[in-house]
Structure 1
């Protein structure tokens, strides 16, 4: 595959997510403490492409039991590294979290970064899988041991609205 063909392929990495989605959230009540109790709640997501396909953003509504809030994801492709960067931020805080970086391979998108959680250094990943025209699965996991073990602490079921 030529460099131009590879670049064109990446322009369409997120086409499947364009539009409006119903989201069912499953969030671990406590993270990195061995909890097995989950909160389940509904939400919504609307994604729009930007930057001629080399960027996109989505507006999210999360109807948590403790109180609903809006959040946003912004994704940008770097043609030099061939990696996507994803930033997540929401109205509960005034800070922008470090981006996770990665890409799609064999129909699965995996994006990782170093981060902190409750003052503790962690590794985090976002993963998109089970992608179809009308559904997808997203999950987030933390590792407190440099990626040797992972705790999935949030997963979402997306269905086309």
Structure 2
């Protein structure tokens, strides 16, 4: 049950140093993640391997709980799952910069206990795009997180990687969420 595999990512812009240019939407605000407060049950579908034409998806359940911090300028969530028969925990710290009107998201998990590079972006019309550069499988990639909150009780988060500066994308993780509290 993979939905939205052929999602389109907005065209990326780069500066003269090949750095991503990420601009906020006109409606970006510190309240963009309010829909995510509370507890959710998640159905995860994740590609088994990346960048090798893999069509095998690993499916697992998880839970997520988010709460606001810093007077609403940030939030933290805990992601709890069993992966490969072992307990797995992740967390996201999200911070909204009122000057730039951009969100920065920092992910860490129990397999590495270090923050990934921040994923930066904003929402427009209940769809959010957040980007970063990273190294995956020894390849320089651009990462995109896409949040679809057209149904605030059943948001969909998805992730894709591009190893060619955004010309093509490999969608590799989907979270189908259901609010439980």
Is TM > 0.5 for Structure 1 vs Structure 2?
A: yes
Tell me whether 1:57 sits opposite 2:76 in the alignment. yes
- RMSD after superposition: 1.8
1:13 to 24, 32, 57: 32
- Map residues 62-141 of structure 1 onto 2, 5 A cutoff: 62-141=81-160
CA distance in 2: counterparts of 1:35 and 1:102, whole angstroms: 28
| Structure 2 residue matching 1:52: 3-state secondary structure | helix
CA distance in 2: counterparts of 1:9 and 1:149, whole angstroms: 27
Per-residue deviation at 1:32?
A: 1.0
| Structure 2 residue matching 1:63: 3-state secondary structure | strand
TM-score normalised by the chain length of structure 2:
0.81
Q: 1:138 to 1:42 in 2, by over 3 A?
A: same
CA distance in 1: counterparts of 2:38 and 2:92, whole angstroms: 14
Name structure 2 gaps, 5 residues minimum. Answer: 1-24
Aligned residues of 1:10 and 1:54 also touching (Cα < 8 A): no
Query: Relative contact order (C-alpha < 8 Å, sep 6+): which is higher?
Result: 2
CA distance in 2: counterparts of 1:93 and 1:29, whole angstroms: 19
Which is helix-richer, 1 or 2? 1
1:148 to 157, 167, 171: 167
Name structure 1 gaps, 5 residues minimum. Answer: 1-5
Q: 1:38 to 1:8 in 2, by over 3 A?
A: closer
Q: List structure 1 segments (4+ residues) > 3 angstroms apart after TM superposition.
A: 6-9
Q: 1:9 to 1:28 in 2, by over 3 A?
A: closer
| Structure 2 residue matching 1:142: 3-state secondary structure | strand
TM-score normalised by the chain length of structure 1:
0.91
| Equivalenced residues, count | 156
